[in-house]
Structure 1
Amino acid sequence: MKSAEEFNRLLKKYLEGDTSEEENRFLEEWHRNEAELPFPPMSPTEKRETERKMWRQIRFGAVGERSLLFFKWSGWGAAAACLLVTVWWFWPDRLPVEESRAVAGTEHFEIRNTTGSDQEVRLADSTVVLLKPNSRITYDHRFNREKREIFLTGEAFFQVRRDETKPFVVHAGSLITEVLGTSFFIRNHPKQTTTEVSVASGKVSVYTETPGSKEKLNGMILTANQLIRYNRDTQHLAAGIVEQPVPRLSEDAPLPSLDFKSVPLGNVLDALTKHYGIEFFIADPRIRDCGINADLTGLPMFTQLELLCKSIDATYEQRGTVVFISGDGC
C-alpha cells in the first residue's frame, strides 16, 4: 500500500496530466474498491496542502480530463465530498450552487452546462470550449494521448490548440468536423433536423459518416466566414456564408482601406475579398468599372453590399459561399 506522501504525489501528477497508464489504473482501481483500499492516513497539514492544490487546479484553468477526477476522502469537508461519478464545476471568483456539471466514468467524461450562461471549459490539450447553456460534451478518458476526439450535443464554440500530429475531431450527430487548429462554432440539437458548423478562423473539414461505419459519405472544406448546414432527414449538406462575416486579421498583411474615392467596383470587391475571405463574382462585366465613392469602414458586410449595389443600381445574390453582383451598367 502506498504511503500518504506517495499518494499525494501521485494525485498531483494526475492533476498535471503526468501519470502513466499503470498509475491511472491504480487510481481507478482504488476508487472502485475504496471500501477495501482506504486512503492512506494523512496528517492535517498534508490534507490541507493537497486540498489547496486541487482547488487551485480547478479554479485557475486546469479544466481538462485530469482535473475532472475527484476522490472521496472521509473527513475532508466540501472538497472531499465530491465523488468520482459526479462533481460540481467551480469557476473563478464565485462558487455557485448550481453550475456546469462534470461527470466522470472509467471510460469517458461528460461536461454539462446546466447554467443560463456560456461556460468556458479548457481541455487537456489547452483547447478552449465555450459551452452554451443546456449543452454537453463527452470525450474518452484517454483524450489527447493518441487522438483528440469529442462528442457534442447542443451548441459550443471551439478555439482549438494546433497539433499537426493529432487532428481535433468533433462528432455532432452524423456530422463530423475535423481540424488541426482553428476556431469554429457548432450547433447540434437532437430535436432539430439541422446541424450547423460555422468557421471563425482557419480551415475546417466537415463530412458525414454512415452510422456504425467509418465510410465518409460527403464533405466540404470551410474557411473563415463560411458555414455548412446538414439536414439529418435528407442527409443533404449545404454551404453558405455566416450571418455576420468578420474581417480576417493577419499580422503579415494589413487589411486594405475601405474608404473609396472613384474606385472601380472590381477593385472594391477585391478589397472586400481580402477582408472577409469571401468570393464576389460580377455577373455582368459592364458594371466592373463603375466608379465607387463610399466609406464602408466599420459597416457589416451585407450592409456594405447593399450600399454598393444601390450606388450603381445593381443587386446581389448569395449562392452557397459566393456572392454574385448583377446590374445593367452605370
Structure 2
Amino acid sequence: MEAHALYELLEKYRQGKCSPEELEQLERWYASLGKDRPDSLLEEGSEAAQVLTSRKLQELHASLGRERRVVPFRKRVLRWAAVVSGLILLAGGARYYFKPASRQGELVKEYRIPAAHSRHITLPDGSLVILHAGSRLEYPLAFNNNIRDVTLVGEAYFDIRPDTAKPFVIHSGSLRTTVLGTAFNIRAYEGSPEITVSVTRGKVKVETEQEGKLLAVLTPDQQVVYNNMGATAVRQPVTADSAIQWVRKDMVFENLSFAAVAQSISNRYHVNVRFEDEGLATCPIRASFNGTEPLETVLSVVCGIRNASYTIEDENDILITGKGCLP
C-alpha cells in the first residue's frame, strides 16, 4: 500500500469513518507487516537506514505480533498505528520525519492542524500544549536527552511540567525560549515580522536562536515582542487573559445543544463523541471554560449539567449516557 494511501486510511480510522472494505484493507496491511518490510523500507544509503536498523524493525514487528494475539483490532490500531505509520511515511513526512541538525537520528512527531480548530496535545513528559489551528509543533516521541526541546511554527499555549533536571526549550523562528516549569504563550507564524512570548505563570528566558543573545527574563503578566527585520526586542506588560484569549474560543457555551457542545469537545480534544439516547443530544448546555482544562474535567462538567455520565472507550471514543430533556 502506498504511504499516502495508508496515512489517509489511518486518519479515517482515528475519526471512525472507515468503511467495512477499508477496515479489511487495514487488516491485510497489518498482516503483511512481517513480510520483507525491512528490506523494502531501508534502502541502502537512505536517511531512514541510518536510523532504523533492520533489527529495530524486527523488534517492532515482534512487538506488534504479540499485540495482535491478545488485543482486538480496533484498540490495536489506536496503539500502534502512529508508530508504524511513522516508519512507513519516512519519505512523505506527513506526520513523522527525521529532522536534521541537532535532532538528526531522532524520530520526531509533527502535529499540523488542517481544520480551523485548536488542539490539546499531551507531550511525553505530561506537559500540556494547546496548539492553535493551522500551527505546527514538532517534538520527540520521548524526552531522552537532558533538555526537553520542541519546535513551534504558529501559536501555542504551553503548560510545562516542572523538571529541574531537564529544562524545557521551545525553538520558534529566530527565538529560543527556556523554562523549568511554567505557563506561557508563543506566537511565531511563518512570514510574520514579529514573535511574541507572553508569560501567565512562572518564569521564562528568551534568547535569539543563532547568537544566544539574552533578550528578556519574563515573569507573569509580561511579554517580549521581537522584530525579525530589525532584530530588536521590546519588553512590555500584558494581562494573562488578553495573551491567551484565543484559547477560550469555542469553549464558552451559551445555551448550545449538547450535540453542538460535543462537537466542540470532539474538535478540541480529537475524540469521537456519541450519545446513547439521541434525545439527550438536543438538551441545552450553558457552561464556560478557560480552554486549558483536561478532557475529563470538561466531560464531567457538561455531563453533570444534564445529569448524564460518560465512558471513554478505546482511548478516543466517548459514549454519553442519560435521559433526554423533558418536554
If asked which structure has higher relative contact order (CA below 8 Å, sep 6+), I would say 2
Larger helix share, 1 or 2: 2
